[in-house]
Every structure is written in C-alpha cells, then in structure tokens.
Amino acid sequence: MGQKLYSIENLSGQDHDDLEKLLLLVPPKQRQDLQLRRLLLFRLLIDGFEITRSYMVDKTRAADRCGFSGRIYDYLKDDDIERSCPEDGCFSIGVRERPD
C-alpha cells in the first residue's frame, strides 16, 4: 500500500502557507494544538485550500453559535458534541447542503 506520510515539522512552501492561513480561523490559544494542525493538514492535502477553509469557517461559526468553549479539535472530531448543538444547516467536506 503506497501510503504517504506528511510531516508538519518539515512542511514548506504553499502547503505551509495554506496551513498557516487556516490556523488564523481558530482561536490564538489553539493554533499550536498538534492534533488540530495534523487534522487541518490532512484535510488541506485531501480537499484543497478552498474547501477546507469553507469547512473550517462553517464549523468555527457553528461552534461559536453553540457556545462551545472547548478545543476546536474536539468539536471537529466528536460527533456527539456537534449533535448537542442546534442544527442550522449541514456541511460535509466538499459538499454544502442548504436547508429548504
């Protein structure tokens, strides 16, 4: 299986710049969260910058509206946390669904 590993520590060029832009969407105290950085890098390399940025904007706004005050990484990874908040629309990586 030709799996490719990506190292945050050795990241450079456009991928590094795009990751830093995405990190501006999260609270300053959480920008050094290694798990969050790895998740964002993974999504960035799979989906590209624009889709990942749209996803993060949507999720950080939803977390803010919900009053979530924990780690953004936990909000992104834990479906139970997200489900506990009232829904006002759905967003999946790459697909935007609007409520009727």
Residue 2 is predicted with a pLDDT of 53
Residue 19, token pair as written in the block = 């990751």
Is the pTM higher than 0.75? The answer reads no
Distance, C-alpha 46 to centroid of its chain: 12
The pLDDT score that the predictor gives to residue 14 is: 84
Over pLDDT 90: what percentage of the chain? 33
Residue boundaries of the structural domains of the chain = 13-97
Long-range CB contacts for residues 12-20, cutoff 8 Å, separation at least 24: 15/41, 15/44, 15/45, 18/44, 18/49, 19/44
